[in-house]
Structure 1
Amino acid sequence: MAPLPPPSPLPEFVYKITPTAPPDPIPEQYPLSDLDRQDGFVHLSVSWQLPITADLFFKDSTSFYLLKLRLAKFNSSVVKWDEVEGTNGCPHLYGNFGANDVVSVREFRRGEGQTWKEALGAEEGWLEY
């Protein structure tokens, strides 16, 4: 992955997809997924990338949770925009996040024959760039 300059303007929010409900309460240091530990960063998405990310990593799932994080909470030196095919740069957090960084959590489900784009499109007010 090649680093890219951050988008302009910067999105206000980034999102973390998790296959199961997050711990309640959310801890000060969120437990990293196996993939995040292996890759050395937390995989995040901006709102318009979520259907792409969901199709890549959750294509066989009928539900997942999104953690909404305010990007400005993170120092620009720990969020890198890495080139990932078809995304124009994905935000990757080289560190971790926790309870103070999570603005909101929501479960998303898709119905029989429904795409992730359709399921996520119904929540455009909650999903913000």
Structure 2
Amino acid sequence: MAPLPPPDPLPAFVYKITPTAPPDPIPERYPLSELDRQDGFVHLSTSWQIPITASLFFTHSPSIFLIKLRLSNFDPASVKWDEVDGTNGCPHLYGNFGPADVVGVLEVKRGEGEGWGEVFEKAEVRGWLE
């Protein structure tokens, strides 16, 4: 992974994608996934990256949960924008997040034979992403 400069303008929100419902209430330190622990950072996505990330890593999941995080809550030095497989700046949080950082949670389901790209074209889902 090669570090990139942050996008300009910065998005207001970044998203954590999980295959299961997040704990309710969100704990002060969100439980990291095995991949996040292994890599040493929390994998996040921008709104436009979510369909790509979902299609690559959640191909067999009938639903996913999006945790919307306010980017300005994090120290800019703790968020690195890394090039991954030629994509533009995937946000990685070197640290953790908690309930004060979470704006909302949305469960997104796909129908029989429906791809993630189709799901994220729906107005109700697009409207929630910013």
Whichever residue aligns with residue 82 of structure 1, its letter is: D
Q: Structure 2: where are the runs of 5+ without partners?
A: none
Q: Structure 1: where are the runs of 5+ without partners?
A: none
Query: Normalising to structure 1: TM-score of the pair?
Result: 0.97
Aligned residue pairs, count: 128
Partner-residue secondary structure (3-state), 1:118: helix
Query: Normalising to structure 2: TM-score of the pair?
Result: 0.96
Once residues 36 and 118 of structure 1 are traced to their aligned partners in structure 2, the CA distance between those partners, rounded to angstroms, is 27
Once residues 87 and 79 of structure 2 are traced to their aligned partners in structure 1, the CA distance between those partners, rounded to angstroms, is 16
Structure with greater proportional strand content: 2
Partner-residue secondary structure (3-state), 2:119: helix
**CA positional deviation for 1:87:** 2.2
Matched with 1:124 is 126
Sequence identity, in percent?
73
**CA positional deviation for 1:115:** 1.1
Once residues 20 and 119 of structure 1 are traced to their aligned partners in structure 2, the CA distance between those partners, rounded to angstroms, is 18
Moved over 6 A (4+): none
1:74 aligns with 2:70: no
Partner-residue secondary structure (3-state), 2:30: coil
Structure 1 pair 86–120 and aligned structure 2 pair: CA distance change class (3 A)? farther
**CA positional deviation for 1:86:** 4.2
Once residues 37 and 56 of structure 1 are traced to their aligned partners in structure 2, the CA distance between those partners, rounded to angstroms, is 20
